[in-house]
Amino acid sequence: MDRFSAVERALRGAPPHALYEAAQDALTTHYTAVSVDLLMADYAMSILQPVNALPYTAEPVSVHASAPGRAFGSQQPHVERPARATHVIAHFPVSVRGDRIGVLTVRLPEDQYDQQTERELHEIAEVLGHEIAVAERDTDLYLQARRANRLTLAAEMQWQLLPGRSCVRPEYEIGAQLEPAYAIYGDNFDWSASADHLTLTVTNGMGEGIEAALLTNLAINALRNARRAGLSLVDQAFLADQAIYGHYHGAAHLSVLLLRFDLATGEVEIVDAGSPKMWRLRQGKAEPIELEAQLPLGMFEDTIYAAQPFTVLPGDRLFFLSDGVYDVTSPDGERYSETALTRAMTATRLLPPSQVPRAVLHELAGHRGPIDPDDDALVVCLDWHGRR
């Protein structure tokens, strides 16, 4: 058995809570690693925390100003070669189909590090990411490692709903983020892809705290139930509307933007049922997309919804924003304008979608200043490549 296969087999055979230890032992044995560290990105995507240091006995490192952070941001290996040292420190992104999880750091003798070793360790980090995704069904260890602070109960419920925070396929790339990461309660996003279609849902919740989280949980699961039954986008909206109205009788409702992309043609069906807004960046120009506004889900009984056609072209970048973005005001009461939002979108045009939402929300936080947000904010970024 070759060394790569030996490490892969060790990871696949490890207990869910012991993936780090299995990686450490296997890389030490088969790659002569001197040390191995596994760092997990926190919910705010601002720091990387070591799994082997739980509960938080070691200092986290910055995503934006550290060597592991460079590997995390670029999703490519980053190698440190300290002066007069006999070892190299190699950092590898740990991700699952574009969803960035963390970084695997391996220190090993310089004479043992070559291009073949780098390729193998890069693949091992990917295998580790897939094993972590599976292991999270059976252990809390990796979810705990992502927490720089305690989540509110509402935030716990919301994060458990999410499919991930980024996704990469040949036809598209998606990146998304929620803020404040540790205290969100109503906003949410969801996506699902088949061989021919991508369905994307962006929700802007009503209310605060647990009540907002419960409403969003009901809506997302109703939409998933209808989608998994093979129903059309319009019927998905209709059944989710009935589920919410049947429970709340109009006392609570949910704003949602539903989209269904044809992966082969770029044709899109859209149901705009509320306040989430859609923008398009095409050839460097950002502009809002005006859609046919319809009633939020659950506002009235037997609401009829209609899908609106839309087309995306290769090279288009789409933004989806909750009102926690465009309703923010500065300390002196100045509203975050469309001009500022356009500037943020164009300024991040060279970043991959996985990094764009965090950058836009950082700009938003600068406008808001030291004031705590009174609403959660959501940014979803989608790059459309189209099918070749």
Average confidence score pLDDT of the chain: 92
pLDDT at res. 325: 78
Other residues' Cβ atoms within 10 Å of the Cβ of residue 38: 26
Name the pTM for this structure.
0.92
Stretch 204-209: mean pLDDT = 86
Confidence of residue 326 (pLDDT cuts 50, 70, 90): confident
User: Confidence band (pLDDT; 50, 70, 90) for 373?
Assistant: low
pLDDT in tens, 251-310: 999 999 999 999 999 999 999 999 889 999 999 999 999 999 999 999 999 899 999 999
Decide if pLDDT at 245 tops 80: yes
Q: Assign 368 a pLDDT band (cuts: 50, 70, 90).
A: low
pLDDT category, 244, cuts 50, 70, 90? very high
Q: What does the pLDDT read at residue 313? A: 98
Segment holding 267, helix H or strand E: strand 267-273
In this prediction, residue 3 carries a pLDDT of 96
Question: Is the per-residue pLDDT at 388 higher than 80?
Answer: yes
Mean pLDDT, rounded, for 303-319 = 97
Backbone φ, ψ for residue 25 (5° rounding): -65, -45
Name the token pair of 168. Answer: 């990469």
What is the spatial order of strands in the sheet that 255-262 belongs to? 188-193, 197-204, 255-262, 267-273, 308-311
Buried residues in 182-221 as b, exposed as e (16+ CB within 10 A): bbbbbbbbbbebeeeebbbbbbbbbbeeebbbbbbbbbbe
Instruction: Please count the CA atoms within 13 angstroms of the CA of 302 that sit on its side-chain side.
Output: 0
Q: How confident is the model at residue 57 (pLDDT cuts 50, 70, 90)?
A: low
The mean per-residue pLDDT over the stretch 13-32 comes to 96
| Backbone phi, psi, residue 288, to 5° | -75, 145
- The encoded tokens of residue 179 equal 């803020």
> Please, where are the H alpha helices in 32-161?
67-74, 115-135, 141-145, 153-161
Model pLDDT, residue 336: 65
**pLDDT exceeds cutoff 70 at 355:** yes
Judging by beta carbons within 10 Å of its beta carbon (0-12, 13-18, 19+), is residue 339 exposed, middle or buried?
Answer: exposed
Tell me if residue 36 falls in helix, strand or coil. Answer: strand
Quick one: pLDDT band at residue 20, thresholds 50, 70, 90?
A: very high
Model pLDDT, residue 207: 85
Supply the DSSP symbol for 76.
S
- Say if residue 233's pLDDT is above 70: yes
Instruction: Categorize the per-residue pLDDT at 366 as very low, low, confident or very high, splitting at 50, 70 and 90.
Output: low
Q: Would you call 103 exposed, middle or buried from its count of C-beta atoms within 10 A (0-12, 13-18, 19+)?
A: buried
**Model pLDDT, residue 377:** 87
Question: What's the pLDDT score for residue 91?
Answer: 98
pLDDT band at 217 (very low <50, low <70, confident <90, very high): very high
Query: What would the DSSP string read from start to end of 283-300?
Result: TTEEEEPP--B-PPBTSS
| Least confident stretch, 77-81, 148-152, 329-333, 353-357 | 329-333
pLDDT tens for each residue of 338-353: 778 888 899 999 999 9
Q: How confident is the model at residue 370 (pLDDT cuts 50, 70, 90)?
A: low
55: pLDDT strictly greater than 60:
no
The identity of residue 33, as a single letter, is: A
Q: Say whether pLDDT at 330 is over 80.
A: no
